Structure 1
Amino acid sequence: MGHKDIPIGTGATGTRTETDAIGAIDVPADHYWGAQTQRSIVHFDIGDDLMPRALYHAYGLVKKAAALVNAEAGRLEPDLADAVVRAADEVASGALDAEFPLHVWQSGSGTQSNMNVNEVIANRASQLLGGELGTGRLVHPNDHVNLGQSTNDGFPTAMHLATLLAVRERTVPQVEALADTIGRKAREWVDVVKIGRTHLQDATPLTVGQEWSGWESQLRDALARLDQSLQAVGALAVGGTAVGTGINAPDGFGDAVALKLTELTGTALISAPNKFAALGSLDGMVAVSAGLRGVAVALMKAANDMRWLASGPRAGLHELRLPENEPGSSIMPGKVNPTQQEATVMVCLQVIGEDAIVAAAGSQGTFQLNTMRPIVIANVLHSARLLGDAAGHLRVHSVEGIELDRDRIASHVDRSLMLVTALSPHIGYDRAAAIAHKADHEGTTLREAAIALGVEAADFDRIVDPATMVGDPRRDLGL
């Protein structure tokens, strides 16, 4: 057998016959999938939710690694292995995305998707060897592509790999870039004094930079916890096969595949030390989902604060000026809304909800297998993508262009009653409270009320200085 340079595509029309353990079935001749995929299309036509493409891309890497290990050990003929590797590369690259039509709602182990990958690679590899598709193919989906593997260890291995790649390549860089931008703004505005707020009511002053540094720190702390959670999915189920015992897989197979995947991806991976836990649980995925939820919580805090601080422009706080990206109303001319912040909050709510699903699914392991895997990988990959995309859009389309309404900020500080807090150590809490209540009820300034209640003007001006009430903002920001 020799390799042929055959472009992707069967060039056929109509149907062809494929067989599996159940029997024969007709499949579309212009596709590479086989009998089990076709049966799944019929039996699991539930909703519009397809298995994530990122899972199949990771699956391509898993099948490639397994083929290389099997070839190196002499269990797979070199020509067959090379064809499988080439087809698996096409899966991993996304070139065969059209061959993965299955829905999330299928066997809880992911058997249909595992066989979908096996069948596509087998048929494409056979074509690359100059052979037929279907019953006459030269590469068998089970005997060759799935050699040394089971759905029960292959699917979770692909899940973990897809999750690692998605979070590290898509989520983390975007959230880090957002944190960097927020941090830059914090340093730029480190000395701009503003009024603080607790319980949505006026509080003592801080600086804009201090406020923004809180958002930055929250995001970085959440990213650190997310990164720590990724260690749990760096351990792969491969080598456990059906129930964790490794039946039909040679000794050391899991370790060899994990090492090969490490070489292929540049990501440190190991074969899970306890395969019974790896197959019977979804604990690693639950941990990563919780890490993504943590990022969502921090991101929602920042986005919500931004839209509150931008409220107005005349009847709200309006300390921030957000970029005007698009008209905000179909009836009110000139209205502009905090749309990027709103979209971000919705994404964060979605992620928090998806984490609840993942946690519930993680509790459903029975005996030697947790059969809630498709819903878990669908939700985790969806959350990872949403968070990355939302953080990127919030940064580019809003945060980078945010400006301060310095006049409004100064006005809020000047009019705040809570500056009286600085007087409390000098005149007592009760007397300071009386000054605040008097100013509020009579509509006077805090200074006027204080003088009326016996505070010397010079003492008031010396003590009640907002710039001295914010601590050391430059120290707080490490400047």
Structure 2
Amino acid sequence: MYQARGQRQEHDLLGHKSVPDTAYYGIQTLRALENFDISGITLNFYPDFICGLAKVKKAAALANHDLGNLSDDIKNAICQACDEIVLGSLHNHFIVDMIQGGAGTSTNMNINEVVANRALEIMGKALGDYQYCHPNNHVNCSQSTNDAYPTAIKIALMDANDKLLSEIGTLIDCFNAKAKEFHTVLKMGRTQLQDAVPMTLGQSFKAFASSLKNEIARLKNSSKQFLEVNMGGTAIGTGLNADPKYRERVVVHLGTVTHREIFLADDLIEATHDTGALVMYSSALKQLAVKLSKICNDLRLLSSGPRAGLNEINLPPMQPGSSIMPGKVNPVIPEVVNQIAFKVIGNDLTVTLAAEAGQLELNVMEPVMVESVFESIEILKSGMSTLGKRCIMGISANKRVCEDNVKNSIGIVTALNPHLGYEMCTALAKEALENNRSVYDLVLEKQLMSKAKLEEVLSPDNMVY
């Protein structure tokens, strides 16, 4: 068979193909490259996923070696190749599109082929000389895509979640810093976009921080489900082609490789087709996105104007806001985070629909679920970093505007309820509104309270707790 210069011949079920000599991937990866030119988002967009795949292959090699299925030299070469991949090597050879048919088989073969060829190189053999280390016989020993792929997903998502939690924590610190800075700035609180009762600007920012802190707990709880894996179940959970002792051994090695308390599912058949952990985690990402979007809505409202809006805070100016209106500056950072939230919400719907589409012993829609979840994590991380650094830390308060709004607001009448009663306060509010008068002035004019008492009641210390 003719072999072009700079290429090697490989074969599979469907025939022969030429693979570049320098490629660590093989024929099945090449077929997937041709078949799934879909999104342009390849495996190497998500390094955590590649590392998760490598950790699974290393644990499998160690377990198979324990059981006598792999020789020392093959096991050592596979483990070294996996370690190198975890450290960031060869990621450019993971070229399969994240969205693919085949329930992740193309992804599994991409890691199998890269590991096999790097192992061959470590053993002093030529790439593609699979008699010494084969992608299926050795790297994929005792495995199926249907247990290796979802296990790698879970390991990768736990690693990715740790980085996401760190980013949330950094953003929380930004809000807490502003809460401290603005703790003496009195402003009107609002419900239904109407004046309610006074509060401090610091309390608003503290509430933003507290809201995000709640999401850390939710994401931690959701990610705990990823500790349960179906390794050893092979094709449908029955464990065909794997030593009965393999499943316990591989889970032990997975725990060691990942430094996590991995455990085996009670029912491997159920675990093989169940995608509930992805659904729950995606939902937690959506909740985070919704809260971030609400916070950004508030920032845009509070900074609106500056002359014809609320103008209680100033967002840092990041760029000119118009190609036609001189002097206009837009809240572009909150706006982009809003759009990130919309994308995450859409991704969650994709995950939900894909989970529902599972049939019988396998859910073949996992690839789009995985791509959606990883995309959500990455854009949330980027969005929160941008929001904190390029918006929150540069916010300043328009203290005079905030205090004037409180002084002129009818909402302060609520503080007089315990002293004058609801009926009198209602009458004062109505008169102030109809005649464009100050509640403060009306109380003194009607001699309902002394000036000293009124100022005591309306002092920030007594209205804000």
Q: TM-score, normalised by structure 1?
A: 0.90
In structure 1, the partner of 2:72 is 78
Higher deviation after alignment, 205-214 or 152-161: 205-214
Equivalent pair of 2:444/2:451 in contact (CA under 8 Å): no
What is the deviation of 1:77?
0.7
In structure 2, the partner of 1:20 is 12
What is the deviation of 1:463?
6.4
C-alpha distance in structure 1 between counterparts of 2:53 and 2:130, whole Å: 25
1:113 is the counterpart of 2:107 = yes
1:134-159 deviation digits (Å, cap 9, x = unpaired): 25552101100001110000000011
1:132 is the counterpart of 2:109 = no
C-alpha distance in structure 1 between counterparts of 2:318 and 2:286, whole Å: 28
In structure 2, the partner of 1:199 is 192
1:183-215 deviation digits (Å, cap 9, x = unpaired): 232233333321101001111111222222211
Letter in 2 for 1:319: E
Matches within 5 A, 1:21-420: 21-51=13-43, 52-53=45-46, 54-134=48-128, 137-168=131-162, 170-420=163-413
C-alpha distance in structure 1 between counterparts of 2:318 and 2:256, whole Å: 44
C-alpha distance in structure 1 between counterparts of 2:323 and 2:79, whole Å: 55
Equivalent pair of 1:99/1:120 in contact (CA under 8 Å): yes
What is the deviation of 1:271?
2.2
Letter in 2 for 1:87: A
Which secondary structure does the structure 2 equivalent of 1:204 belong to? strand
Letter in 2 for 1:358: V
Equivalent pair of 2:120/2:129 in contact (CA under 8 Å): no
C-alpha distance in structure 2 between counterparts of 1:271 and 1:181, whole Å: 40
C-alpha distance in structure 2 between counterparts of 1:240 and 1:68, whole Å: 17
1:42-69 deviation digits (Å, cap 9, x = unpaired): 2222232323433222101111121122
In structure 2, the partner of 1:437 is 430
Higher deviation after alignment, 92-101 or 429-438: 429-438
What is the deviation of 1:230?
0.8
C-alpha distance in structure 2 between counterparts of 1:13 and 1:408, whole Å: 75
What is the deviation of 1:13?
5.3
Aligned identity (percent) is: 37
Letter in 1 for 2:30: Q
Letter in 2 for 1:90: E
Equivalent pair of 1:219/1:295 in contact (CA under 8 Å): yes
Q: Which runs of 5 or more structure 2 residues have no equivalent in the other structure?
A: none
Which secondary structure does the structure 2 equivalent of 1:370 belong to? coil
Structure 1 residues 352 and 13, CA, compared in 2 at 3 Å: closer, same or farther? farther
Higher deviation after alignment, 219-228 or 426-435: 426-435
C-alpha distance in structure 2 between counterparts of 1:423 and 1:131, whole Å: 87
C-alpha distance in structure 2 between counterparts of 1:372 and 1:92, whole Å: 26
